Structure 1
Amino acid sequence: MFWKSKPLWGKKPRLKSSYDAVIIGGGLHGLATAYYLAKEHGIKDVAIIEKRYIGFGGAGRNTAIVRANQRTQYNVPLYKVALDLWPVLTKELDFNLMFNNCGNLNLMHSEAAMKAARMTIATAQFHGVESHLIDAKEAKELVPALNISEDITFPIHGAMFHPPGGIVRHDAVVWGLAKGCARHGVQIHQQTEATAIHTEGGKITGVDTSRGRIATKQVLVSAGGYSAGIINRMLGIKLPISVLTIQAMVTQPLKPILNHVVSSGAYHCYANQTLKGEIATGAHMDQWPNYTTHNTAHYIKHQAESLSDWLPCLRGVKFMRIWGGLADMTPDMAPIMDGNDPIDGFYMDCGWGYFGFKSCSAAGKYMAEYMATGNCPDMLKPFNLRRYENHELMGETAALVSYTPDN
C-alpha cells in the first residue's frame, strides 16, 4: 500500500495573507531565528519561506564541525555561546542532536604558526574558552595515527587543542529545530519561492511568493549562499560577498581511529570520524566565484594526498561519496548580521562562509532578539554592514577593500 509521507514536524500549513515576520531561507539560521522568536519573544506568527526544502543548502552540505577557537575578540564570544547552546537545545527540542564534544586539534607546521596559535589561544582563554598549545608528541598522544616525522610535506610542530569543540549531526539539527518551530506555531512553507520584497516609505510592507503575496512588516533574509543575490535583486543592496564552492567527502567505514576533529591550515585539510565510521574530510573553498555544487577530480586528488601524508594509515582507503556546497565569503571572513539599515523592518544574516553551521544556534538567538526588540544586541554590533564603509574589517582574515553600501 502507498502511504503519503508528511513532514516530521507536522502537516503542510496553508499560506496566510499576512504574518508578523517572514524569514526567507529554510536553513539552520532561519529555523533557529524563528524558533527563538517564538519561544523567547512570543512572536509565533512567523512564516519560513523555502524555495526547495529545509536543509537543502549549507545545512545539509557540511561536515558538522562545531568549535569556538576563532581568532578575534568579536568572533570568539559568539561562537562560545553557540557551542554552549548545543546541549541546551538537545534538551529543549527533546531531540537527539548527536552532539559530541570530542575536541578539536588544529595542527601547526612552523614556529611562526605556533606563535600565531599562542595569540589565538590567549584570546580564547581571555573569553573563557578552553584552548591549549601542545607539542607534536602530545598531539600524537591524542591522535596516535598522526605522522609526526620530518619526512612529510609539512612537518607537525605542534597543535592548538580545543577540548569543547566537536561535531553535531547537521540533519538532526534541521529536523529538531523544525519540530521546535512547529511546536511553537511557526509555519514552514517548503517548495515556496520568494520572488519580491516590497517596501514603501523606507519600510518593509510585504513579500511576493510563488504561492501569493504576504503582508508583513519584518523580513529576514537568511538563505546562505543565495542571500547576497536575493538582497541585491529584490532590494538593490549590494553586499561585499563572493560565493564559492566548497567540497567535502567521506571514506568507506573504518574501525575507530580518529577520536578528535583534526585540521591543518598548511594542508588545507580537516577530518573527523563519523558515528558510522566514515572519515569525513573537507578543504578550502574553490578559488573562483560560482554558484555550482559540482565536484572536481583536483579536489579528490588533493584530499587523498593530504590525508595520506599526515594520516598515513588512510592510504588505500576508498572515498565513497563527495558533495559540494556554497560558501558566501566576505572580505574579512566574518558574517553580516544587520537590520533596519537602510530599510526599516529588513534584516540580513549572511556572509558566513564555511562557519555558518557552527554559529547557527547563537546567530538565531541574537537575530531573534534583534527582530523582536528592534535594537541590535551588543553581541551583533561588530557584524554590521557599515564596517566595510568605515574600513573596520575584522581580523579573522582581512583583505583591504573600499566599499560603500548602496543607500
Structure 2
Amino acid sequence: MFSKKKRLLGDNPPLKSTYDAVIIGGGLHGLATAYFLATRHGMTNVAVIEKRFIGFGAAGRNTAIVRANQRTQENLPLYKEALDLWPVLTKELDFNLMFYNCGNLNLAHSEAAVKAMRLQVASAQFHGIESHLVDPQQCKELVPALDITDKPRYPIYGGMYHPPGGIVRHDAVVWGLAKGAAKRGVHIHQGTAVTGINVENGKVASVDTDKGKIHTSRVLNAAGGYSAALSYDFLGIRLPISVLTIQAMVTQPLKPLLHHVVSSGMYHCYANQTLKGEIATGAHMDAWPNYTTQNTAHYIKHQAEALTEFLPCLKGIKFMRCWAGLADMTPDMAPIMDGNDQVEGYYMDCGWGYFGFKSSTVTGKYMAEFMATGEYPEILKPFTLRRFKEHRLMGETAALVSYSADN
C-alpha cells in the first residue's frame, strides 16, 4: 500500500474564533511577517487570511530580481539587509530558495544618466553596498551580447554594476515561508475572504470573514494591489495608492548568454536568463490605473523592440508566455509601513509598486517586531503614511527620471 503523502503546510487548520494577530494577504509580505512573528517573537497564535491561494498576487507574478542599488539613504539600508537575508533564510527554512547573486547591470544612455549613477554608486558604497560605475567597454565585458556602438536609438554611455544583486525563485520563497510559518503553528487560511474589520473604542476588535468572525487586537493589511480598497472600504482610511498593471514575459529557451540581470531605465526594460534558458523580461507599468491582469499588444511590441535594441542577438526569438500583475504604487514610489493614529492595532504594509519582492523578507522581519512590541522600528520610520500629509516625499523617483533625462 502507498502511504499518504504529508501536505507541505500540514492539514488544513480550523478557523479559530480568536487570534493574537490576523494578517490579510497570503503573499510574501504577509507570510514573512507571520514567519518572523513566530520565530523571533514567539507569537504563533496568528492567522494569515488569503482570499484565493498563497502567492496568488504579485508574489507569483514577477521577474524575481533582487538588488540593493536604490538611490535614497532611507531605502539603501533596508534593501541591503534584504539581500543579506536570502542565504540566511535558505539555511534557516531548510528550503532551497534558489538565490543566485549573478549581479545587476543598469545601463546609462546619456551623460546625465552617468552622473546620476555616480551619485547612486557613492551612496551605495557609503552604506557598505558593493556597486561600481563602469564604462561601455566594461559593460560589454560583463555582457558580451550588448551593442555598445552608436546604432541603438539610445547608445550605451556606461552603467552601474551591482555584484550582490541577482535573482531568487519567487514561488520557492512563498512555499518556504509558508512551510516555516505553518510548522511553528501559524494558521494559513486559503480560500477565505475578509469582509470587514471591526473597531471598538478606537481599537481593532475583530475581523469578519466569509467563514466566520475572528476576535483579534492586531490586523496587518498586506493585501498588495487590493490594500487601498480594503483600507477604505473597511475603515474609511484613504491611502495615496494607484493600482497599475505591470507586465512581463519569457522567450523560448536559449543557450546561456545573459549571465547578469540587465536593465535600462531609458528603454523601461529589464531582463535576466532563467535556469531553463528563457529570457524573462519586464517593462514599466501601464500608465492608467486599473485592476486587470491582462497583457497588451502594446507592451509585447515594446519589449521586443527594447530588448533587441541593446541585445540585437535576440532578434527573431519568440515570446512563449506572458503575464501581468497589479502594482500598488504611491506618488513617490516608496512603500507605506506604518500603524494608524485613528485605529490602534491596525498596521499597513503596502504601496510597494514593483519593489515589493526585493524587500519582502526584511519587511516581514520589522513589521513583525512592530506588531509584537508596539515599538516602531527606526528603519521603518521614513516610510510612515504621515509623510504625504507633511509633504516629505521620498526621492527615489528622481533616479528613474534621471535615466530618461533626454527622453
State the partner residue of 1:262: 262
State the partner residue of 1:304: 304
* Structure 2: distance between partners of 1:301 and 1:2: 51
State the partner residue of 1:65: 65
- The Cα of 1:99 is off from its aligned counterpart by 0.0
Runs of 4+ in 1 over 4 A off after TM superposition: 1-7
- The Cα of 1:397 is off from its aligned counterpart by 1.2
Kindly tell me: are residues 350 and 3 of structure 1, through their superposed partners in 2, closer, same or farther at Cα, counting changes over 3 Å? farther
TM-score for the superposition, normalised by structure 2: 0.96
What per-residue deviation string (whole Å, max 9, x for no partner) do you get for residues 178-234 of structure 1?
A: 000011110000000000000011000000001000000000010111111100100
- AA partner of residue 270 (structure 2): Y
* Structure 1: distance between partners of 2:274 and 2:169: 9
TM-score for the superposition, normalised by structure 1: 0.96
* Structure 2: distance between partners of 1:340 and 1:236: 12
State the partner residue of 1:161: 161
What per-residue deviation string (whole Å, max 9, x for no partner) do you get for residues 322-373 of structure 1?
A: 0000011100000000014221100000000000000001100000000011
* Structure 1: distance between partners of 2:49 and 2:287: 31
State the partner residue of 2:175: 175
* Structure 2: distance between partners of 1:43 and 1:153: 55
- The Cα of 1:6 is off from its aligned counterpart by 7.1
What per-residue deviation string (whole Å, max 9, x for no partner) do you get for residues 104-150 of structure 1?
A: 00000000000000111111111111100000000000000000010
Conserved? CA contact 1:339–1:346, under 8 Å: yes
- Structure 1 residue 286 corresponds to structure 2 residue 286: yes
- The Cα of 1:2 is off from its aligned counterpart by 12
What per-residue deviation string (whole Å, max 9, x for no partner) do you get for residues 216-265 of structure 1?
A: 00000101111111001000000000000000000001000000000000
Q: Name the % identity.
A: 74
- Structure 1 residue 315 corresponds to structure 2 residue 308: no
1:125 match: secondary structure: helix
Counterparts of 1:2-401 in structure 2, within 5 Å, are 7-397=7-397
Structure 1: unaligned runs, 5 residues or longer: 399-407
- AA partner of residue 331 (structure 2): P
- AA partner of residue 129 (structure 1): I
* Structure 2: distance between partners of 1:341 and 1:38: 26
1:276 match: secondary structure: coil
The count of corresponding residues between Structure 1 and Structure 2 is 399
* Structure 2: distance between partners of 1:142 and 1:363: 32
- The Cα of 1:10 is off from its aligned counterpart by 1.2
- AA partner of residue 129 (structure 2): V
Structure 2: unaligned runs, 5 residues or longer: 399-407
Kindly tell me: are residues 393 and 183 of structure 1, through their superposed partners in 2, closer, same or farther at Cα, counting changes over 3 Å? same
State the partner residue of 1:405: none
* Structure 2: distance between partners of 1:23 and 1:5: 28
What per-residue deviation string (whole Å, max 9, x for no partner) do you get for residues 267-308 of structure 1?
A: 000000000100000010000000000100000000000111
- The Cα of 1:7 is off from its aligned counterpart by 4.5
1:124 match: secondary structure: helix
